[in-house]
Amino acid sequence: MEQKVAELLNQQINKEFYSAYLYLDMSNYYDEQDLDGFANWYKIQAQEERDHAMLFLQYLHNNGEKVTLEAIDKPDKVFASPLDPLVAAAEHERYVTSLINAIYAEAYAAKDFRTMQFLDWFVKEQGEEEKNADTMVKKYELFGTDPKGLYLLNQELGARVYSAPSLVL
């Protein structure tokens, strides 16, 4: 594996763990607002991001690459309304997509087909994550300002259950 590809994959481990911290922070915000369904949604998002980090870590190990864990930044977002975390999550997912695309581009340039195949799952996953995040914003904008609508949306988000990724390394 080319050094630049390995470095980007290693950096992505940290970015995924940061994403988990960010989503856990969002979950905490919603818990403080007594919106347990929203809190559940983001707690599950945090679990998914942690699993993504572990997939990158295992991929590097499987390819004989050294893994270096770096410090995870503290989330720095301040939320003033229940819409704020939703908008921040949508922006964050677009950012993560750009990171995955940059790794893919570097793997492509290096003709690292194994890494490109590994990243295919993440490219698809990011499409789903962006759509989900954008849908959350739209649903809140449509229903969230109405107490009954917010109640139903909170119930819907509370029904989400965790499902581990099924990527085979």
Distance in angstroms (rounded) separating the CA atoms of residues 55 and 17? 11
Q: State the virtual CA torsion across 150, 154, 156, 157 in degrees, nearest 10.
A: 130
Distance in angstroms (rounded) separating the CA atoms of residues 110 and 1? 8
Per-residue pLDDT of the chain (169 residues; tens, 9 = 90+): 899 999 999 999 999 999 999 999 999 999 999 999 999 999 999 999 999 999 999 999 999 999 999 999 999 999 999 999 999 999 999 999 999 999 999 999 999 999 999 999 999 999 999 999 999 999 999 998 899 999 999 999 999 888 877 666 6
Global confidence as pTM: 0.93
> Which two three-digit tokens encode residue 161?
């259950």
